[in-house]
Amino acid sequence: MPSLKLYQVDAFTDQVFRGNPAAVVPLEAWLPDITLQAIAAENNLAETAFFVPKGTGYHLRWFTPRQEVPLCGHATLATAYVILRHLTPLAPRVEFTTLSGPLAVTRAGDGFTLDFPRLELTPVPVPPAALAEGLGRQPVQVLETSGDPNYYAVYPHEADVRALRPDLVILESLHPFGVVATAPGIATDIVSRYFAPGYGIPEDAVTGSIHCALTPWWAARLGRTELTAYQASERGGTLRCRLEGSRVYLTGSAALFLEGTIALDS
């Protein structure tokens, strides 16, 4: 079996060691799923993205260390960075076929804009007791969407979100649900954190996909369709979010950390 090229890219940041790292592996054709999952587990990053050529674009898939997921923002940004900066540096845009339908990424100055689906949040009538127990702080409201398996815990202040010290064992019992904590921001419009221990991700550094739901929900409450967002993880990362009808546009930068080779035949 031939060796594979691997890129590691820090997404939603313009400098290495910040934002959210993702591995990106270009393929000529799909390998067996068991091999893709083994590579993702070996990388041990929140996401490993694999893509193969399809028509004028690419077929894109995302794997956590434990399983494939239907949507990932930061690994899509990382993949677009690899394609538009390294593989087709003159192209203005790249299109992907994914489990979440067609997605596109366009150059935006020094960064990139992701064209993602809008997700609607609705209240959870009776949130599981493990949610507040696992977060260690009672939210004022709990929401969910049919578009992704996450609970969204709303807090009144940014300080509430930053102060969370979750019990990851308890939160893992909520699997397949991850947990988003969010509040109005101070320097940005909104702030969030995301915990998904059931997927092998104790705390995700910056999560594009959750902003597909956070953007329309906060846009309705703040009365505008363009928002700035900060994910307050240890590494941290910033997104510019724009709501247009059924789509959410997320803009951010990326930085290359490494290029390497996966030696499958060694």
Catalytic residues: 47
How far is 82 from 65, CA to CA, in rounded Å? 21
Residues 6+ apart with CB under 8 A from 198: 66, 171, 172, 174, 175, 176, 177, 178
What is the distance, to the nearest Å, from the Cα of residue 56 to the centroid of all Cα atoms in its chain?
25
Task: Give the residue among 7, 88, 9 at the shortest CA–CA distance from 256.
Answer: 9
Q: How many CB atoms lie within 10 A of CB 178?
A: 24
Token pair recorded at residue 94 = 């790249």
**Contact between residue 227 and residue 250 where contact means Cβ atoms under 8 Å apart:** no
How far is 55 from 77, CA to CA, in rounded Å? 20
How far is 134 from 168, CA to CA, in rounded Å? 7
Q: Which residue has the tokens 């990106």?
A: 24
Residues 6+ apart with CB under 8 A from 52: 26, 27, 28, 29, 30, 58, 59
DSSP 3-43: -EEEEEEEESSSSTTSSEEEEEEE-SSPPPHHHHHHHHHHH
Omega within 30 of 0 (cis) for the link into 26: no
